[in-house]
Amino acid sequence: GPHGDELSTLLWEVYRTGQSLETEIQELKEMESYRREFIGNVSHELKTPIFSVQGFAETLLDGALDDESVNRTFLKKILHHANRLDSLARDLSTITKIETDELDMSNEAFNVAELFDAAIESVEIRAEEKGIMPRQRVAPDLPQIYGDFDRLRRVLVNLVDNAIKYNQDGGTVQLEAESQNDEVVIRVVDDGIGISPDHLPRLTERFYRVDKSRSRNQGGTGLGLAIVKHILAAHDRELHVESAPEEGSTFYFTLPTSPQPSLQPA
């Protein structure tokens, strides 16, 4: 009868609301545990540089200050760890910003060569230190690409920086761009230490590193590829990687050659 129908509709509504509440609660729980893990990771990352700065400064004050050669070494170590803290603070602020307000992604047209020049300029010092000269190979008559120039420069800086960091002195790093089905594919190619297949799926996780001490010695924060992934996701793009240990790595992605109607937040 009519009452039975109403009752079953009501029960159905209650059931559906219950289901979606359960899903929401589940999602909130996941976010909460993700947030806790992130904060745990951050405090862990902060410990080493903070303890080191404290330790070296205390040792200097306890008398090492009188020894010219020791105090230089210690001050250098203090500076090194202070720089690590600085990189960490910057990367954390970038990743938080990108995750919360990516709505202001711009969608401008520019030449790939401009992007490559800007990225290479930002890594000049590190490149010189390692005797590496990043090269560009941009296909002739490449159309302009669309996206957020500053954020895409950041993507390339992080990739090129890694290509230099995880490489031998004097190794090669090449930035490539060519057309591929109405899009432009951009690659950062190195002949460095490479990555074994079992690590590849996790590279873009925050704080994931193949070799922790190597990353830290090179000033890595473990956030570089997480930032890259977020910026590309905000452009509706994905980061791809091909790599083999001791042979080198190629990180690549594509960008559109016409304006994107809607840049989606990551």
Q: Out of 56, 74, 116, 166, point to the residue binding ligand ADP (CB under 6 A).
A: 166
**DSSP for 100-154, written as a single string:** H-GGG---EEE-HHHHHHHHHHHTHHHHHHTT---EEEE-TTPPPEEE-HHHHHH
Q: Is 134 in the site for ligand ADP (CB under 6 A)?
A: no
Considering the rule CB under 6 A, would residue 209 count as an interface residue with ligand ADP? yes
Number of residues counted as binding ligand ADP (CB under 6 A): 24
Site string for ligand ADP, 34-53 (x = CB under 6 A): --------------------
Nearer to ligand ADP, 249 or 254 (CB): 249
Regarding 127 and contact with ligand ADP (CB under 6 A), the answer is no
Residue 53 and residue 84: Cα distance in Å, rounded? 11
What gap in Å lies between CA 175 and CA 186, rounded to an integer?
7
Write down the least CB distance from residue 42 to ligand ADP, Å: 14
Stretch that binds ligand ADP, among 13-21, 71-79, 222-230, 253-261 (CB under 6 A): 222-230
Q: Rule CB under 6 A: choose which of 152, 203, 232, 263 binds ligand ADP.
A: 203
* Contact call for residue 221 and ligand ADP (CB under 6 A): yes
Helices 68-100 & 224-234 angle (0-180, nearest 10): 20
**Block residue for tokens 């996780």:** 205
195 binds ligand ADP (CB under 6 A): yes
Amino acid at 79: L
* Residue 94 sits in the site that holds ligand ADP (CB under 6 A): no
Query: In terms of DSSP H, where are the helices of the chain?
Result: 2-61, 68-100, 112-122, 124-129, 149-165, 212-217, 224-234
CA distance 239 to 266: 13
Residues in the site for ligand ADP, rule: CB under 6 A?
Answer: 158, 162-163, 165-166, 190, 192-195, 203, 208-211, 215, 220-226, 249
